[in-house]
Amino acid sequence: MQRLIVFNHVSLDGYFVDENGSMNWAKSAGDDPEYNAFVAENASGGGSLLFGRVTYELMIKYWPTPMAKQHAPEVAAGMNNAPKFVFSRTLDRSSWNNTTMVKGDLGAEVRKLKEKPGNGIAILGSGTIISQLAPTGLIDEYQVMVNPIILGAGRTMFAGVREQLNLRLTKTRHFKSGKIYIGYEPV
């Protein structure tokens, strides 16, 4: 069975998007070659990507473009070549290669995806998807990149989760840019 991981950037005050829904604040790493290598390595992991509609629409505006290929060629190649699954009630098709639109019950469909052979599935962004899946036990790991910024307002990726979910720390790593990577698994 494939592992389902969440990978998101969060501000020090716990938001994964600012009050306008933007994640632009998470892009800055300054001059940090180790962090940039970490991002490129993650993008070439060979797994599938899972998005909600909002995150998908943000991703397709950038990653298939010549600008993305110029600024972050390894990440762009990983994003563009990876199989992508988009959960949306309103979108019916995609122009981004290797993209499958998924309808139906989120939990049941994710369970089916996990049962297929593959190198794992990563949820990027997609807070609504995360908050719905977190209580189901379908998420195997939460990977969080804490950014040295306080936004003051925004949205947490766990908005709507009503029950306590206990986690155990599995890994940490810090970068010159001040970003801190933290991995947790459900207990």
pLDDT of residue 30: 66
Domain coordinates in residue numbering, the chain: 4-186
Q: Could you identify the residue written with the tokens 């709507």?
A: 160
Q: How many CB atoms lie within 10 A of CB 54?
A: 16
Q: How far is CA 104 from the centre of its chain?
A: 21
Helices 33-43, 73-81: inter-axial angle, 10-degree rounding: 20
Residue 132 identity: Q
Q: How far is CA 70 from CA 38, 49, 62, in A?
A: 18, 22, 11
pLDDT of residue 43: 74
pLDDT of residue 27: 79
pLDDT of residue 87: 95
pLDDT of residue 154: 96
pLDDT of residue 32: 85
Q: How far is CA 71 from CA 15, 94, 126, 172, 178, in A?
A: 26, 24, 24, 27, 22
Tens of pLDDT along the chain (187 residues) come to 999 999 999 999 999 999 998 888 987 766 788 988 888 787 777 799 999 999 999 999 999 999 999 988 988 999 999 999 999 999 988 999 999 999 989 999 999 999 999 999 999 999 999 999 999 999 999 999 999 999 999 999 999 999 999 999 999 999 999 999 999 999 9
4-186 has which CATH code? 3.40.430.10
Q: How many whole angstroms separate alpha carbon 43 and alpha carbon 77? A: 8
